[in-house]
Structure 1
Amino acid sequence: MESGCWHVEKRAGLKSDSFRKDNENVPETGCLSIVVLGASGDLAKKKTFPALFNLFRQGFLQPDEVHIFGYARTKISDDELRNRIRGYLINDKNASPEQVEKLSKFLELIKYVSGSYDSEEGFRLLDKEISEHELSKNSVEGTSRRLFYLALPPSVYPSVCKMIRNFSMNKSDLGGWTRIVVEKPFGKDLESAEQLSTQIGELFEEPQIYRIDHYLGKELVQNLLVLRFANRFFLPLWNRDNIDNVQIVFREDFGTDGRGGYFDEYGIIRDIIQNHLLQVFCLVAMEKPVSLKPEYIRDEKVKVLQSVLPIKDEEVVLGQYEGYRDDPTVPDQSNTPTFATVVLRIHNERWEGVPFVLKAGKALNSRKAEIRVQFKDVPGDIFKCKKQGRNEFVIRLQPSEAMYMKLTVKQPGLEMSTAQSELDLSYGQRYQGVSIPEAYERLILDTIRGDQQHFVRRDELKAAWEIFTPLLHRIDDGKMKPLPYQPGSRGPAEADALLAKAGYVQTHGYIWIPPTL
């Protein structure tokens, strides 16, 4: 006879392929316990718990299947934790009675355990609470599924993982599993990342470790493989013969906003470029995998990273916005960049000679993240339209998710004159009424399903740090200085000069306007 939890799993689509490497031959029959460590912190309140609530609201987590445990040092009750996160889940003033009822049912699933992150006593108590939940669901010992989400600073990962391993993980291997989700930053350079990987790797097998980079959960990032490998007209164009340069851009129109102390420890390269933008870079540049199995996809990403040439100082522009050091948590002589443009070059047959420009900055004149693929000039330009700009394929990751192709067309009228326009797929217009899931929702669901495609493998992490560590050490040692730039600007003018030197041709007189509904 099937247990209630197994019946729920079939409804949610979380069946036998979800245990893949960690439990290959035994069907999952245990109930699911999700443990949010750092439950009282900002990340848990703003991202983790809202993602879990949305999964619950959409039916992927059922009351008879799952229980959620918060763990942190703060001494509060279950109800106090529920009240702290409530406002991040729905707006009570605008919520319908159905939404309020749904929220109440979700909050009933949350239990709080207080303890330190290196305390045997705290993690034994956590294990006791989880075990009582499993027994209440008639789950046989060893068949449970335990997901530990570390919404914590990386400095405590080793001690927390050790406590989980010794006192709180699944007791045997009868069909259940233990999985660990760790947030970036994964170290500060190659040495610290390898040390962290070794410490966690001594406690858990690689298939149990999920290194989360939320950019891999974004809808338009997830679309990249489909675009590249399911559309015939892209296949012959996606190479150095047709593409002149590629930009991957992240822009914010605000500064550090009270996070100056944290940000100054890392800087824009560690915070955004070495992880988020580099993951997008891999998906743009990789070869077609053998299949969609996660390991094949991650193999191709590693090959791209291993083909990147050392970064040249003359192909880097750093910036720091004026007023950054006014933050009392930032050192007066801080050398930390809040803006960086870095050119990466790939030494392989497909991309030799094509610059990939990764650009990120804070306190700029707009907020957006996008991929901009610029094609070479049309040979034999009989329409004399080169001055208007080149063909570009733009993928807007956020906000106003869209894909559009900039192309030259005839201007309507009696004259044979040309203009730049676009073929536009704007998600808000094309998919009206369709809710685009948050990245954390997708990635937590992937973790439950055991799908590691959108998570960072250890050798991939190592290859990424090998690219950026030499540059970061030169910055840390003061050998490279950020240039000042005005808040609300495009960043240092030298960055635009580097972009032009890399071959990018700016389109003049054309602005893409997202369609209105």
Structure 2
Amino acid sequence: MTWTNPLRDPEDRRLPRIAGPCGMVLFGVTGDLSRKKVMPAIYDLANRGLLPPGFSLVGFARRDWAHQDFAQIVHDSVKAHARTEFREEVWQQLAEGFRFVPGDFDDDQAFDRLRRTIEELDVDRGTGGNHAFYLAIPPGFFGAVVGQLKEHGLAEERNGSWRRVVVEKPFGHDLESARELNDVLGQVFPSGSVFRIDHYLGKETVQNILAMRFANELFEPIWNANYVDHVQITMAEDIGIGGRAGYYDGIGAARDVIQNHLLQLMSLVAMEEPTSFDAESLRIEKQKVLSSVVLPRRLDLTTARGQYAPGWAGGEKVPGFLEEEGIRKTSTTETYAAVTLGVDTRRWAGVPFYLRTGKRLGRRVTEVAVVFKRAPHLPFSSTSTEELTQNALVIRVQPDEGMTIRFGSKVPGTAMEIRDVNMDFVYGGSFVESSPEAYERLILDVLLGDPPLFPRHEEVELSWKILDPILEHWAKKGKPEQYPSGTWGPESADKMLARDGRVWRRP
């Protein structure tokens, strides 16, 4: 099997893949996602020479702006958040393709103007009828927007051109709503033209899970229940909800992170070797994992949830979740969630996967820790190895992207004393070129029509089938357990592992 970098030309891996003639329509241009992620990523792609010279960007929003007003918004966003240096010649060429269409989502005249604008760009900028519609808007508006795109012929592909739609999570709030959302999108766009962005899948280290597993004979022989004791997947944040009260209350940590990010990470860790790294082969193997997930019988003992209480973070006194502006005092939304899952396959039978996420925890970190079983016989005295723990391979997704292998080594001296040591690989120290930001990779993949990093609707529905019973169980239990800000979560999460004779890693 050969490893193919998604940003490389398959005919010559030394050459970057450059998008052909195309444009993008961005709905929700005033939101944080557009300003902090999408617009800067588009500039960074242009700055790296990966967009066509005639690339166009059309903004759509309920604002009384002219084209130059929209260009200024993009300019300010790029200056503030772009990864690459600002170059005036790149900016000028990119800005020539900016257009703005004012209107509401139910405004037929606005969508008529949008259609005319796109047709003009096809002529003036040579976009060739190829356009991606990026819905950086709440899911409740997806139906209205894609309905208007269909009604006004904007979703129709003609003369070999393509039309695609990009949607951000959350992909529903349970299985039923996810199916309804998939039906709404599927009535307008074929499955292969719907791109669901999970930005974690665009991170270099996440993709390196596949390279590490399948390009190295070192790991695959021990990547199974014979050698692996358990797997811990953590996404911890040291911040609170910030200004996201309107979104977060009623959603919670499990829906926000476990249903998408962590289950996707789990599927990459647990999947079998694909026949190739194309989208279909990866999707098949990930779906096999998700369809094999089993929940423990006692959800009260194998899951945990909590809300952060007042405490200290970064040396400052911080409020609890229920004291945050915009949060209901009676809210039962969890800011911490931990679950125990099994994968009912020959490879993973009996190996628990512990997934956890939370806000206001000890530090910001996302990692996958594969913890191996203890050696069956240690010819050392107990005093020689009292500090010795289990071997582990830790994949750090953020920050400080890289990997760590923990193993036992002899302490210098005449006695046979063993201690844990770490061997580190850090991306920044091993490669000269900097990693592209996740949105750069994902947006380019949309424009290329290359979907290996995007979950399909089958994966989304399988993820909700896993999470829904847990959410229903929690809904019957009342309020989540409180945990002080700056700690590592509620006591029930520690007890969850202690019952199995294990402990959470302290990243």
The TM-score with structure 2 as length reference comes to 0.90
Whether the aligned pair in 2 keeps the contact of 1:170 and 1:176 (CA below 8 Å) is no
C-alpha displacement of 1:371: 0.4
Pair 1:394 & 2:379 matched: no
Deviates more, 1:147-156 or 1:102-111: 102-111
Q: Provide the residue aligned with 2:4 in structure 1.
A: none
Give SS of 2:222's match. coil
C-alpha displacement of 1:75: 1.8
Q: Provide the residue aligned with 1:150 in structure 2.
A: 135
Task: Write out aligned runs for 1:431-470 (5 A).
Answer: 431=431, 433-470=432-469
Whether the aligned pair in 2 keeps the contact of 1:124 and 1:168 (CA below 8 Å) is no
Q: Provide the residue aligned with 1:487 in structure 2.
A: 485
Q: Provide the residue aligned with 1:317 in structure 2.
A: 304
C-alpha displacement of 1:493: 2.1
Whole-angstrom distance in 1 between the partners of 2:16 and 2:400: 29
The one of 357, 360, 377 aligned to 2:357: 360
The one of 74, 78, 88 aligned to 1:89: 78
C-alpha displacement of 1:95: 9.8
Whether the aligned pair in 2 keeps the contact of 1:318 and 1:483 (CA below 8 Å) is yes
Give SS of 2:422's match. strand
CA displacement 1:258-309 (0-9 Å, x = unmatched): 2122101210001111101110000001111122221111011111111111
Q: 1:126 to 1:419 in 2, by over 3 A?
A: same
Q: What is the letter of the counterpart of residue 464 of structure 2?
A: W
C-alpha displacement of 1:332: 1.0
Deviates more, 1:256-265 or 1:383-392: 383-392
Whether the aligned pair in 2 keeps the contact of 1:377 and 1:386 (CA below 8 Å) is no
Whether the aligned pair in 2 keeps the contact of 1:245 and 1:502 (CA below 8 Å) is no
Give SS of 2:221's match. coil
Q: What is the letter of the counterpart of residue 50 of structure 1?
A: P
Q: 1:440 to 1:506 in 2, by over 3 A?
A: closer
Q: Provide the residue aligned with 1:54 in structure 2.
A: 44
Q: 1:503 to 1:202 in 2, by over 3 A?
A: farther
CA displacement 1:39-78 (0-9 Å, x = unmatched): 1211110111011111011000133x31111111122222
Deviates more, 1:364-373 or 1:165-174: 165-174
Q: 1:14 to 1:166 in 2, by over 3 A?
A: farther
Deviates more, 1:480-489 or 1:212-221: 480-489
Q: Number of residue pairs matched?
A: 478
The one of 110, 123, 136 aligned to 1:122: 110
Pair 1:163 & 2:148 matched: yes
Whole-angstrom distance in 2 between the partners of 1:402 and 1:273: 22
Q: 1:74 to 1:424 in 2, by over 3 A?
A: same
Whether the aligned pair in 2 keeps the contact of 1:244 and 1:503 (CA below 8 Å) is no
Q: What is the letter of the counterpart of residue 114 of structure 2?
A: L
Whether the aligned pair in 1 keeps the contact of 2:372 and 2:392 (CA below 8 Å) is yes
Deviates more, 1:360-369 or 1:224-233: 224-233
Whether the aligned pair in 2 keeps the contact of 1:355 and 1:502 (CA below 8 Å) is no
Identity of aligned residues (%): 39
C-alpha displacement of 1:138: 5.3
Q: 1:67 to 1:138 in 2, by over 3 A?
A: closer
Q: Provide the residue aligned with 1:6 in structure 2.
A: none
Q: 1:95 to 1:190 in 2, by over 3 A?
A: closer
Task: Write out aligned runs for 1:276-295 (5 A).
Answer: 276-295=261-280
Gaps of 5+ in 1: 1-9, 16-27, 513-517
Pair 1:501 & 2:505 matched: no
CA displacement 1:415-453 (0-9 Å, x = unmatched): 32222112211112112x321111111011111111111
Pair 1:109 & 2:94 matched: no
Give SS of 2:133's match. strand
Deviates more, 1:309-318 or 1:382-391: 382-391
Gaps of 5+ in 2: 1-11, 310-319
Deviates more, 1:77-86 or 1:464-473: 77-86
CA displacement 1:359-378 (0-9 Å, x = unmatched): 00001110010001100001
Whole-angstrom distance in 2 between the partners of 1:214 and 1:457: 14
Give SS of 1:265's match. coil
Q: What is the letter of the counterpart of residue 444 of structure 1?
A: I
C-alpha displacement of 1:91: 4.9
C-alpha displacement of 1:387: 4.1
Give SS of 1:182's match. strand
Deviates more, 1:241-250 or 1:377-386: 377-386
Whole-angstrom distance in 2 between the partners of 1:265 and 1:506: 27
The one of 50, 70, 74 aligned to 2:63: 74
Whole-angstrom distance in 1 between the partners of 2:213 and 2:46: 33
Whole-angstrom distance in 1 between the partners of 2:30 and 2:61: 6
Q: 1:178 to 1:95 in 2, by over 3 A?
A: closer
Whole-angstrom distance in 1 between the partners of 2:156 and 2:268: 38
The TM-score with structure 1 as length reference comes to 0.88
Pair 1:251 & 2:229 matched: no
Whether the aligned pair in 1 keeps the contact of 2:157 and 2:163 (CA below 8 Å) is no
Q: 1:132 to 1:439 in 2, by over 3 A?
A: same
Whether the aligned pair in 1 keeps the contact of 2:387 and 2:419 (CA below 8 Å) is no
